[in-house]
Amino acid sequence: MILDALLTEALRSHLPKIVEPIELVASLDNSPTSAKITELLGELDVLSADINVRFDGSAERRPSFRITRVTDPHASVTFGGVPLGHEFTSLVLALLQVGGHPSTADADLLDQIRGIEGTHRFETFFSLSCQNCPDVVQALNLMSIINPNIEHVALDGGAFQDEVAAREVMAVPTVFRNGEKFGQGRMTLEELVAMIDSRSSDRAVEKIAAMDPFDVLIVGGGPAGSSAAVYAARKGLRTAIVAERFGGQLLDTMGIENLISTPYTEGPKLAAELEDNVRNHQVEIITAQRAERIDPAPRIGGLHTLTLESGAALQARSLIISTGARWRRMGVPGEAEYANRGVAYCPHCDGPLYKGKRTAVIGGGNSGVEAAIDLAGIVKHVTLLEFGDELRADEVLQNKLRSLSNVTIVTSAMTTEVLGDDKKVTALTYRSRADETDHQVDLDGIFVQIGLLPNTEWLDGTVQLSEHNEIMIDGHGATSVPGVFAAGDCTTVPFKQIVVSMGAGSTAMLSVFDHLIRTPQDTNVSA
Ligand code: FAD
């Protein structure tokens, strides 16, 4: 049995939602992956009378299988390899949506997808351990199902290693359109539609520009912003949340074991739950938009203006900034040039692409050492480089790392350059701070794990920042500007954690409420 009891149960509960018969057609070869596809399709066949399975497919790319609506062959998606692991949900959704079960995506967005013209043949390379991949796979699958101009093949990179090498796929997800590289990394349905449909950005700007002022505008949709939004809605405030990507760092987080209500969850799952909960409250959610500037209210009680990079502007009586943080870059020559061509930041996502290869991890804190331990189980060899004289990770992690035979630890090492052959990374160089000697490590992949930077550049000169560019806040989450509050990883809060950010979001929002009821609204001015 390829499907364990849990997966079989999940399918049993979902497959009755199929309303139109579907056909699964496999194109196989003699590989072990083909045997697994045969097993998987056989098990799906017996789980639903609406599923018919055939093994006589004529697709060029093998092993793969195509899911098609019997009454409308345009409604189809193709998987190359076995979409289990993180892609199991994509498989279930594909079965249901090809089978006529409606998507829960925004109705306007679905209409927009139906209206996309031209020919768009998408191929997405994913890995079964990549948390960022399902969003992309599911978004393109949905497009392929509802618009006959769009086709999508989702490929497990692990099952198509030769193609991965030939097409220079160095990170997942990587998307090709009509044979050309189209995008890399996590992309939401909205973002993908915006990339395909050039008119969508103008429509979004028009929609935002027509919005009336809010009581509170939250910038950032991670744990801090979500928590603030729920508190605001429960206080009856007219609320909007603007986020480049709803979920923030949760989208890059594998296992979470310190969320107090549950022993274990995963970042993308928590992010989806937060978004659902916020959507279930009266909150205007504006995603795929980056904040560019704040113009604080000229008078107490007036309106603050938030300008977005798209050119649209929003106004509100109060603001909460919760723009979080991002991976810190090394800032050495070659890093930007080879990003996603050997330089990676998410070991959970991209680690499997380096199976049997030589890699380095930069950074000897908890995340670097965890990444090195994780990679050591997949790759041929890991060199861990730490700038300081000793590792900074917890003792238990260091002990585990030192017990691994395929790991070399180098301390007092300052990475100086990423080298490559124009196509991909081939080596890195570092200078030993102990004896000033230069060294080269030949390798295929570099995982950078040297901490986080607050997303506050766009605020320069508006609210007071610390020497580390974190927003200075008091115990109420208040910034140096009246009516502007902040919460989470972008602030001077000493601990950057999910529950800390959630608590900070609620603190900031309760402070906003306090501020609003004590501050008479200036009705004479618009800004
Ligand atoms: P973020 O989660 O960073 O969210 C920021 C939001 O702001 C996002 O929506 C982003 O798109 C948006 N944004 C940023 N700039 C702009 C802009 N200019 N305009 C509009 N929107 C913008 N914590 C734990 O407690 N447990 C763990 O196990 C754990 N594991 C982690 C693993 C990894 C790999 C990482 C990276 C972090 C982990 N953390 C963990 C830390 C935790 O994820 C963060 O502390 C938490 O997400 C911070 O929440 P936040 O809302 O402040 O910011």
Closest ligand 1 atom to the C-alpha of 455?
15
Q: What is the pTM of this model?
A: 0.76
Q: Residue 130, class by beta-carbon neighbours within 10 Å (0-12 exposed, 13-18 middle, 19+ buried)?
A: buried
Alpha-helix runs per DSSP H in 48-188:
88-98, 107-114, 133-146, 161-166
Q: Assess whether 72 carries a catalytic annotation.
A: no
pLDDT at residue 45, rounded to an integer: 97
pLDDT of residue 190: 87
Q: What's residue 288's pLDDT?
A: 84
Of 456, 465, 133, the C-alpha closest to 292 is: 456
Q: Is there a contact between 155 and 80 (Cβ–Cβ < 8 Å)?
A: yes
Q: Are 69 and 62 in contact (CB under 8 A)?
A: no
Q: State the catalytic residue, choosing from 135, 346, 374, 489.
A: 346
DSSP 8-state assignment for residue 1: -
Distances, alpha carbon 437 to alpha carbons 148, 330, 413, 433, in Å: 60, 20, 10, 8
DSSP 430: E
| Ligand 1 pocket: which of 455, 463, 507 to mutate (most atoms within 8 A of CB) | 455
SS (H, E, C) 172-196: CCEEEECCEEEEECCCCHHHHHHHH
Atom index in ligand 1 nearest the CA of residue 489 equals: 52
For atom 53 of ligand 1, which residue has the closest CA? 324
Chain segment 111-134, per-residue pLDDT in tens:
999 999 999 999 999 998 787 899
- Report how far ligand 1's centroid is from the alpha carbon of 221 (Å): 9
* Per-residue pLDDT tens digits of the chain, which is 527 residues long: 899 999 999 999 999 999 999 999 999 999 999 999 999 999 999 999 999 999 999 999 999 999 999 999 999 999 999 999 989 999 999 999 999 999 988 888 899 999 999 999 999 999 987 878 999 999 999 999 999 999 999 999 999 999 999 998 988 899 999 999 999 888 889 889 989 987 777 888 888 999 999 999 999 999 999 999 999 999 999 999 999 989 998 887 766 888 999 998 888 889 989 999 999 999 999 988 999 999 999 998 999 999 999 999 999 999 999 999 998 999 999 998 888 789 988 787 678 889 899 999 999 998 899 999 999 999 999 999 999 999 999 999 999 999 999 999 999 999 999 999 988 999 999 999 999 999 999 999 999 999 889 999 999 889 999 998 999 999 999 999 999 999 999 999 988 889 999 999 999 999 999 999 999 887 665 44
Active site residue 350: yes
Predicted confidence at residue 526, as pLDDT, reads 47
Which of 160, 192, 154, 191 is CA-nearest to residue 173? Answer: 154
CA 331 distance to own-chain centroid: 23
Structure tokens at 251: 């989208």
Report strand pairing: 283-287 vs 239-243.
parallel
Handedness of CA 169, 171, 177, 182 (dihedral sign): negative
Place of tokens 């995603």: 287
Going 252 to 254 to 259 to 262, the CA torsion angle's sign is positive
Q: Is 162 a catalytic residue?
A: no
Residues 6+ apart with CB under 8 A from 65: 24, 25, 26, 27, 37, 41, 57, 78, 79
Question: Please, are residues 218 and 225 in contact by the beta-carbon 8 Å criterion?
Answer: yes
Residue 323: name the closest of 172, 508, 517, 194 by CA: 508
For Cα atoms 379, 266, 171, give the angle at the middle one, nearest 5 degrees. 40
Nearest-CA residue for ligand 1 atom 45 is 497
Q: So what's the pLDDT on residue 267?
A: 84
| Annotated catalytic residue within 252, 350, 374, 444 | 350
